[in-house]
Amino acid sequence: MDKYTEIVLTIGPGGSVEMEGEHYQGQACDRELRALMDALGVLESVDHKPEYFAKVKTETQIRQTGGR
Amino acid sequence: MSEYIKGQTVFKAESIDCLAKALEDIMPHWSGKIEVNASGLQMFDYHQKAVRAEIVIRQPVAGGWGDMGFATTPDGGVELISDEGHRERRRGNDMRRGEHLFPKIDEAWLSQLSKHYAYRVAEKQAAKIGATITKSINPDGTWRVVLRKPVVKAWQQAGRSW
C-alpha cells in the first residue's frame, strides 16, 4: 500500500485548473479533490479512473479464542 | 490516479485572505499597502463616492482618492472595484505622472492574479488537510502544484494507539 496520497494540480492561464489524485483507493480521492475544487471555484468536468471503483481494503484484527 | 477534474478558478468571499496574498505576490510594491478587513472597509472611487470593500488599496489622486478594491457579493463571490482610470492607465504614462502604484487592470493582470490566487487557495487547503505543498513550473508555463500527505489508517483516525 502506498504511504502517501497526492493531489497533482495544474494551474494554467487565467486560473484554469486540472487536478488528479494519485495513490488513492476508492472514493477518498473524490472527497478530497472535490473539497479542493469547491474551494478553488467551479467544477467543469470529472473523469473517473478504474481505481475509483476499487474496494477499499479494511484492516481488521481477528482474535482467535481457541476451543469450540 | 482515480479521478481527473477540470475546473475554473473563481474568487470566493471565503478565501478573501488568499486573494490579498495573491495581490501581494503579483504586486510586491503593494506590500504593507493592502488593507484587508472581513467586516468591510470604506474606500473612495475616482468620483469620491464612498464604497464598501473587504480589500482596499488606496491611491491619492488630484483632489481626493482613486482607490481600488475587492468587495464580497451576496452570492459568495468577489467583485473588483476599479474605475476606468485604473483599467485604461498605461504604466509608462503613470510613471511620468508619478502615479505608478496601480498597474493597468486588464485581462492579463487578472489572469495573473487568478493563477496566484489558485495557488494560495491550494496552500490553504493543504494546511487544512495536513498536506505538504510544492510548486514547480512546467515547460509550457503552467504550474504543477502537488499536495502530499501520509495515508492515515482507520485506527489512526479513530485516535487509537493499539
- Mean pLDDT lowest among A18-27, A37-46, B16-25, B79-88: B79-88
Mutate which of B4, B12, B132 to test chain A, going by most A C-beta atoms within 10 A? B4
pLDDT in tens, B73-109: 999 999 998 876 665 554 444 444 444 567 778 889 9
C-alpha cell, B22: 495573491
At residue B91, what is the residue type? R
List alpha helices for B27-99, DSSP H: 84-88, 91-97
pLDDT reported for residue A25: 77
Among A2-6, A64-68, B54-58, B59-63, the range of highest mean pLDDT? B54-58
Q: Please state, as a whole number, how many other Cβ atoms lie within 10 Å of the Cβ of residue B116.
A: 22
- Statement: residue A67 has pLDDT above 80: no
Q: What DSSP state is assigned to residue A56?
A: P
Which residues of chain B fall below pLDDT 50? 90-99, 162
pLDDT for res B55: 95
Flag whether the pTM goes above 0.90: no
- Residue B15: what pLDDT? 94
Looking at every residue in chain A, the average pLDDT score rounds to 77
A-chain residues near B146 (CB < 8 A): 6-9
Q: What is the pLDDT of residue B156?
A: 59
pLDDT score, position A53: 62
What the block records as the C-alpha cell of B118 is 489558485
Which DSSP helix (H) or strand (E) runs through B110?
Answer: helix B107-129
Whole-complex ipTM? 0.79
Distance CA A31, CA A5 (A): 13
Grid cell listed for B154: 482507520
Contact B124 A14 (CB under 8 A): no
**Does residue A66 surpass a pLDDT of 70?**
no
Q: Give the pLDDT of residue A55.
A: 57
Test A17 with B118 for CB contact under 8 angstroms: yes
Give which of B13, B1, B10, B105 is closest to B53, Cα–Cα: B13
pLDDT value of position B104: 77
**Whether the predicted pLDDT of A42 surpasses 70:** yes
Quick count: other Cβ atoms within 10 Å of Cβ B56? 25
Q: Does B90 touch chain A (CB under 8 A)?
A: no
